Every structure is written in structure tokens, then in C-alpha cells.
């Protein structure tokens, strides 16, 4: 998942587009080893709970997707109710794109992919996803992705103004260490919430994962599929699990990779994820020490990193274009660099430059991270997270939570805890309650977990597989987020399941 930033600081950390490193080739894969439309005139009030998604109103008819060329893909849209409790009222348009099956005579159906986020554009990411699929999967399925409601092309969440930057273009400090800094962060979040409410109106109450799962079922029907074949990465695993609970008999097959445990409370989520990021950071430190990377701190590297962040707080670093870099840029660079081992050299260079007083590389990494995988990634992610994850709405609680999280994860604990503050002031209330996954009547679902995943802890995959009615866990011994992008073994196992329904032996492990 992704992380708190400046204005539009996300409540939680989620993964979006994953950088591919040698994933295009899928020949001779190893075999798993077996162990033992917004209405700005509508004002949203946080004192009013969202309406139920059950209704006696007649349903909105599903119309087959009308495809048209769009570059190398085909594009279309699916109409969905803004509010599923009132389907005859306003609607939203869900943008979809597909790469048709390479061998039409052997076509099985559609394979719908959500790359994560929330807030990421599945359409923008679709070429990346195609590169990580085996040739047989691409031959047998129309590969489909979409921009979820609130994202980019699909009735996007819109915030009227604000970048979270100060006069020098520097991001606001996401880990306030003084009462004045805490007040500044709270004021920043309140202003951003107001901007989003003004720009998005009634849409803000209807962009949560429960509504998106219902959109996904309309999409399945509009694609002409009797059942859904689905791949979800990171946040997409929460979407998949939600769909399986709402529509268990509509599931054909699901691969959930980089899993989120839907049973976690938001506080548990933050602590678990902070600890996982901290473990990823220690792996990065060990790699740096073993390879002689350019960042060579004296003494304990965690202490040195925290000292660097504190120095940037007291004296901002010089950045590109005459700007400056502070804690916000450094934290974003860390989050951007730890998601994949292939990004470690860039992170090392950014830290080395920052240590020398030059924050240009950190600023560049931060900017790429902050874009959020879509044109409105920061706004959409905040809006979706705040509906999906109930938080304490008392701002005075956050210094205590940050201190508790810091005891478990000194670098990332306070960052992720303070990141929840944006949802404490959000104008729309949550629409999802944490609970174990429940999919009675669904077929077996393949859950993939990476033992050293720095973003979604491996234990979440273990727990999700256990909670699902027929969940089967496949493990990958790696240190990057979302195994399918890095492991030919995992891709081969997913292919066997998606094409023929053949699952790996429960508890199987890929070691490539």
C-alpha cells in the first residue's frame, strides 16, 4: 500500500504500479516446492452515516460494453449507480480497457485485473500487467482493467486546490514533532478535506471498496461473463475478497497477490505494516553494507536515518529547481524505494545525496511516488481509504498512537500513524467494517504471499487464505511487493489455476 504525503496524505500505504525487472520472459518457470459524476452542491456531513447498499428500487440495466480502439487497446465504459441504494438516481461511468485474447478460438473469457492503490489507474497500468502475464494466459483471455470509481477516467474525485507545499515547494512534515507542527498538519488535512468536499460533493460518500465491488459485478455482466476471473494486487486483494463475499457464486477464479487481511482494525493494520516496512528497511541496510552502496552512515543506520530526517526538518535540503526538501520528501523516497529491490540503488543514491545536503534525488523519487499511479491518485486514495478504514476521529488521540507505533517501528510507525489523521477530519463516514473474509459458496481462491514483502506483511496472506472458504496459499521467498512481477514460478502457478483450475499444493513455496 501507499503512504501519507502532503495535502491528500493517504491514510494507509498501498501499492500501485510495480516496476518490472526481467518479468517479460516466462519460459521454463521453476516449480513451486511443497513444504510440510460528482454533485458539488451536495454537502456531506460527518454526523450522518452512509445509506445502506440494499434497496427495493428496480436495478439499473446492464448494457454490454461498446468497444472502440484506443491506442494498442480497446476502450469502453460501464454505467453504475452513484448510490446503490438509489439506483434510479445519479450514475457514474466506469472506464474499462482490454487487450483481446490472442487466440480467439481458444478464448475462455475475460480476466479482470486491479493493480492496487487504491487510487491507481488500471487502464494506465494495463500494459505493465500484460508484461507480467504468461503467453498462454494472454492467448486465452481478454485482459481487462479499469479505473475504479473516483479514479482518473471514472467520475474522478476532484479537490479544488492545494498541493500541500510551502512557499519553497516543500511538502508539509508528515511526522510532526512539536504542538505547532501537529496543529499545522491538522489544519492542512482539514483544508484538504474541505477542498475535496467542494470539488466532489456527493461522490465522496460512494467511492469505497464495497461500491467498487458492486461495480465489478456490473462489469462482469457487461463483459458477457457468467462468472468473474480476477487478479488483484495489494489493495486489489481487498477488492477481490469483498467481491467474493458479496457475490460468491459469481466467482470463477481469483488470484490475490500481496494480500491484505480484511479483518484488521485500522490501528492493527498500521502497526503491522510499519513493522513490515521497518523489516524491509533493515534488509536494505544489510544490502547497502554488503555491496558498498553510496550511502554509508557511521554507526547504527536507523539512528543515522532518523538524524538525517531531523536535520532536514531543522534545515531543509537543497532541491531541484531552486526548491527545498524536508522530511516529507525523504519519507516519500523511502516508501518509493523499499517496494522493490530493483529500486534500492536509487534509494541509496538519494540518501547519499541528502546526507551531503542535496535533496534533488529524494525530491525526484518523492514526486514519482506522490503521483499515485493516476492523475488524481492522492485525492482518490484518501477518499477511498477513509471509507474503507474506520479511524479515531479525535485528533488528540494521534500523538499517543504515533508514540505507540514508534515503539514497534521507529522510522515508519509514527509516519503511518499520523497518516490516519487525514481520515479523522474527512467529511464522509466509513462504509466498510473490518471483518474476516467470508465467501461461502465460492470456489477455491489462490492467495500469494511474499515472505519478505515490505508493504503487505506475509502474515496477512496467511490469514486471508485461512479466512477464505477454500483459500490456498502460495508463498514466494522474496523481498519485493507483489510476487507475480518477479517470480516466473508464481506466474506459472497462476496460469495453471486461471486456465485449467489446477491449484498448487496447499503450502507450496516458490524460491526463484
Domain locations in the chain as residue ranges:
68-156+229-264+444-510
What mean pLDDT is reported for the chain? 89
Q: What is the pLDDT of residues 276-334, one digit of tens each?
A: 999 999 999 999 999 999 999 999 999 999 999 999 999 999 987 778 999 999 999 99
Give the active site residue among 463, 481, 484, 487. 481
CB 205 within 8 A of CB 43: no
CB 231 within 8 A of CB 111: yes
3-state secondary structure (DSSP) of residue 161:
coil
Residue-level pLDDT at 37:
36
Q: 49-82 in b/e burial notation, b at 16+ Cβ within 10 A?
A: ebeebeeeeeeeebeebeeeeeeebbbbbbebbb
CB 4 within 8 A of CB 174: yes
> Alpha-carbon distance 371 to 17, whole Å?
11
CB 349 within 8 A of CB 294: yes
CB 116 within 8 A of CB 124: no
Averaged pLDDT for residues 411-428: 97
Per-residue pLDDT band at 163 (split at 50, 70, 90): very low
Over 80: is that where the pLDDT of 385 sits? yes
Over 90: is that where the pLDDT of 337 sits? yes
Q: What is the pLDDT of residues 354-380, one digit of tens each?
A: 999 999 999 999 988 876 567 888 899
Give the active site residue among 145, 155, 234, 343. 234
The closest of 364, 359, 355, 363 to 308, measured between CA atoms, is: 355
The closest of 460, 455, 444, 437 to 493, measured between CA atoms, is: 444
Q: What is the pLDDT of residues 6-54, one digit of tens each?
A: 433 544 655 443 333 333 332 334 445 544 333 333 333 333 333 434 4
Cell 456490473 -> residue: 218
Bigger pLDDT: 53 vs 199? 199
> Alpha-carbon distance 368 to 362, whole Å?
10
Residue-level pLDDT at 6:
40
Averaged pLDDT for residues 69-94: 97
CB 123 within 8 A of CB 152: yes
Residue-level pLDDT at 230:
99
Give the active site residue among 173, 453, 480, 484. 453
Q: What is the pLDDT of residues 227-272, one digit of tens each?
A: 999 999 999 999 999 999 999 999 999 999 999 999 999 999 999 9
Residue % of the chain over a pLDDT of 90: 82
Whole-prediction pTM value?
0.89
Q: What is the pLDDT of residues 113-141, one digit of tens each?
A: 999 999 999 999 999 999 999 999 999 99
Helix boundaries (H) for 392-487: 398-408, 412-419, 421-424, 458-467
Confirm whether 233 is a catalytic residue. Answer: no
**Residue 79 bridge partners (DSSP):** 93
Confirm whether 453 is a catalytic residue. Answer: yes
Q: What is the pLDDT of residues 429-438, one digit of tens each?
A: 999 999 999 9
Averaged pLDDT for residues 481-501: 97
Region of 381 please: left (phi>0), alpha (psi -120 to 50) or beta.
Answer: alpha
- Write down how long the chain is: 512
Residue-level pLDDT at 378:
86
CATH architecture of 68-156+229-264+444-510: 3-Layer(aba) Sandwich (3.40)
> Alpha-carbon distance 173 to 152, whole Å?
27
- Give the sign of the dihedral formed by CA 505, CA 508, CA 511, CA 512: positive
3-state secondary structure (DSSP) of residue 499:
helix
495-499 contacts at long range (C-beta below 8 A, 24 or more positions apart): 495/134, 495/136, 495/137, 497/253, 497/255, 497/446, 498/111, 498/137, 498/141, 498/229, 498/231, 498/253, 498/255, 499/108, 499/136, 499/137, 499/140
CB 385 within 8 A of CB 10: yes
Q: What share of the chain is helix, strand, coil (3-state, %, to 5)?
A: 45, 15, 45
Q: Which residues contact 279 (CB under 8 A, 6 or more apart)?
A: 452, 454
Phi, psi for residue 187 in degrees, rounded to 5: -65, -40
> Alpha-carbon distance 41 to 203, whole Å?
11
Q: How far apart are the first and last CA of the chain?
A: 24
Cβ burial of 511 (10 Å; 0-12, 13-18, 19+) is: middle
> Alpha-carbon distance 24 to 488, whole Å?
9
3-state per-residue secondary structure call for 3-36:
CCCCCCCCCCCCCCCCCCCCCCCCCCCCCCECCC
CA distance readout (Å), 292 to 107, 282, 348, 360: 50, 15, 10, 22
Confirm whether 250 is a catalytic residue. Answer: no
Amino acid at each position: 500500500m501507499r503512504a501519507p504525503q502532503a495535502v491528500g496524505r493517504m491514510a494507509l500505504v498501498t501499492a500501485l504500479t510495480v516496476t518490472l525487472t526481467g518479468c517479460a520472459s516466462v519460459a521454463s518457470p521453476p516449480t513451486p516446492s511443497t513444504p510440510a459524476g460528482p454533485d458539488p452542491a451536495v454537502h456531506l456531513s460527518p454526523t450522518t452515516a452512509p445509506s445502506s447498499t440494499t434497496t427495493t428500487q428496480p436495478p439499473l440495466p446492464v448494457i454490454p460494453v461498446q468497444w472502440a480502439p484506443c491506442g494498442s487497446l480497446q476502450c469502453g465504459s460501464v454505467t453504475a449507480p452513484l448510490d446503490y441504494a438509489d439506483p434510479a438516481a445519479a450514475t457514474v461511468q466506469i472506464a474499462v480497457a482490454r487487450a483481446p485474447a490472442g487466440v480467439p478460438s481458444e478464448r475462455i473469457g475475460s480476466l479482470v485485473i486491479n493493480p492496487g492503490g487504491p487510487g491507481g489507474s488500471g487502464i494506465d497500468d494495463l500494459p505493465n500487467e500484460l508484461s507480467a502475464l504468461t503467453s498462454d494466459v494472454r492467448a486465452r483471455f481478454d485482459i481487462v482493467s479499469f479505473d475504479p470509481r473516483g479514479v482518473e477516467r471514472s467520475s474522478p474525485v476532484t479537490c479544488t486546490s492545494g498541493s500541500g507545499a510551502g512557499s519553497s515547494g516543500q511538502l508539509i512534515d508528515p511526522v510532526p514533532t512539536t504542538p505547532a507542527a501537529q496543529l499545522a498538519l491538522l489544519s492542512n488535512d482539514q483544508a484538504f478535506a474541505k477542498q475535496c468536499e467542494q470539488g466532489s460533493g456527493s461522490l465522496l460518500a460512494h467511492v469505497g471498496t464495497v461500491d467498487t465491488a458492486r461495480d465489478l459485478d456490473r462489469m462482469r455482466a457487461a463483459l458477457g461473463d457468467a462468472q468473474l476471473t480476477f487478479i488483484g494486487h495489494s489493495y486489489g486483494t481487498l477488492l477481490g475478497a469483498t467481491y467474493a463475499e458479496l457475490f460468491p457464486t459469481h466467482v470463477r477464479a481469483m488470484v490475490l497477490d500481496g494480500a491484505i487481511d480484511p479483518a484488521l482494525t485500522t490501528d492493527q493494520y498500521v502497526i503491522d505494516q510499519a513493522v513490515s516496512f521497518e523489516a524491509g528497511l533493515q534488509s536494505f541496510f544489510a544490502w547497502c553494507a554488503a555491496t558498498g552502496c553510496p550511502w554509508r552512515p557511521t554507526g547504527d543506520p536507523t539512528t543515522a536515518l532518523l538524524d538525517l530526517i531531523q536535520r532536514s526538518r531543522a534545515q531543509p535540503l537543497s532541491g531541484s529547481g531552486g526548491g527545498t526538501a524536508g522530511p516529507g520528501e525523504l519519507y516519500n523516497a523511502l516508501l518509493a524505494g523499499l517496494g522493490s529491490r530493483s529500486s534500492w540503488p536509487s534509494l541509496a543514491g538519494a540518501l547519499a545525496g541528502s546526507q551531503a545536503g542535496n535533496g534533488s534525488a529524494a525530491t525526484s523519487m518523492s514526486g514519482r511516488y506522490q503521483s499515485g499511479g493516476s492523475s488524481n491518485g492522492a485525492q482518490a486514495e484518501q477518499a477511498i481509504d477513509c471509507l474503507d478504514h474506520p479511524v479515531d476521529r479525535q485528533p488528540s488521540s494521534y500523538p499517543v498512537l504515533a508514540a505507540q507505533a514508534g515503539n514497534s517501528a521507529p522510522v515508519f510507525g509514527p509516519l503511518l500513524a499520523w497518516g490516519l489523521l487525514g481520515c479523522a477530519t474527512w467529511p464522509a463516514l466509513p462504509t466498510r467494517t473490518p471483518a474476516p473474509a467470508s465467501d461461502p459458496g465460492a470456489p477455491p481462491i489462490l492467495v500469494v504471499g511474499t515472505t519478505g514483502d515490505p508493504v503487505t506483511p506475509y502474515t496477512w496472506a496467511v490469514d486471508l487464505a485461512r479466512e477464505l472458504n477454500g483459500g490456498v496459499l502460495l508463498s514466494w521467498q522474496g523481498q519485493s511487493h507483489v510476487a507475480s512481477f518477479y517470480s516466473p514460478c508464481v506466474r506459472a502457478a497462476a496460469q495453471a489455476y486461471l486456465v485449467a483450475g489446477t491449484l498448487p499444493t496447499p503450502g507450496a513455496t516458490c524460491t526463484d
